[in-house]
Chain A
Amino acid sequence: DTGVSQNPRHKITKRGQNVTFRCDPISEHNRLYWYRQTLGQGPEFLTYFQNEAQLEKSRLLSDRFSAERPKGSFSTLEIQRTEQGDSAMYLCASSLTETGNSPLHFGNGTRLTVT
């Protein structure tokens, strides 16, 4: 179990640029989640995948955000035309089963700063 891996750890970009983050879940986990966490707040759900299928998206996920999970393995989260309000920590998590008792395993996150 190598844990959930996220890259890059930090990303600084100028407003209007596009950015892409990558998440490698624990290999046997079929569920993958993306969360956003701003300073002083708990993580907020963005979207999740069951294998390669994106099953739900939060209202927080504007049209500028897109996530993919090709082949049900790693996932990418792209933000187009970044805005200063997008500055946050983006967390990825994965879980093994569909039951609610299966805990989420989180990665270290990608901290995005939009200048």
Chain B
Amino acid sequence: AQTVTQSQPEMSVQEAETVTLSCTYDTSESDYYLFWYKQPPSRQMILVIRQEAYKQQNATENRFSVNFQKAAKSFSLKISDSQLGDAAMYFCAYRSPTGGGADGLTFGKGTHLIIQP
């Protein structure tokens, strides 16, 4: 079974600065998908960014980018120009190619991101 580890329970960053959230995973599969989801307080979980393991190029979505290191099984999220609205729990998630069931989406425990004004 796959496991996802987020070693930073909480991170704090000054507004407009850059922060990197760490994620490592364990899998025996060669092809898979990785996601970062954001969950603001009392609000629904939304997709931030996704990465296909077969792609070497790191995904980027506006201020959000990832550093995907397949050999190291590492998938960190970089948030540039942090904004107050970025404050939330961030979850790293792994999904197998079949996309179903328990092998479908495995989440880490999350990192609580605090934005200091």
> Which A residues have a C-beta under 8 Å from some C-beta of B?
3-4, 31, 33, 40-45, 47-48, 50, 55-56, 58, 91, 95, 97-109
Say if the beta carbon of B75 comes within 8 Å of chain A.
Answer: no
Q: How far is the CA of A115 from the CA of B110 in the complex (A)?
A: 27
* Residues A103 and B50 in contact, CB atoms below 8 Å apart: yes
* Residues B101 and A100 in contact, CB atoms below 8 Å apart: no
Q: How far is the CA of A65 from the CA of B14 in the complex (A)?
A: 44
Report 30 cross-chain contacts, Cβ distance below 8 Å, ordered by A residue. A4-B44, A33-B105, A40-B109, A40-B110, A41-B109, A41-B110, A42-B91, A42-B93, A42-B110, A43-B45, A44-B107, A45-B102, A47-B101, A48-B100, A48-B101, A48-B104, A56-B102, A91-B45, A99-B97, A100-B32, A100-B96, A100-B104, A101-B50, A101-B52, A102-B99, A103-B47, A104-B105, A106-B37, A106-B44, A106-B46
Q: How far is the CA of A74 from the CA of B4 in the complex (A)?
A: 30
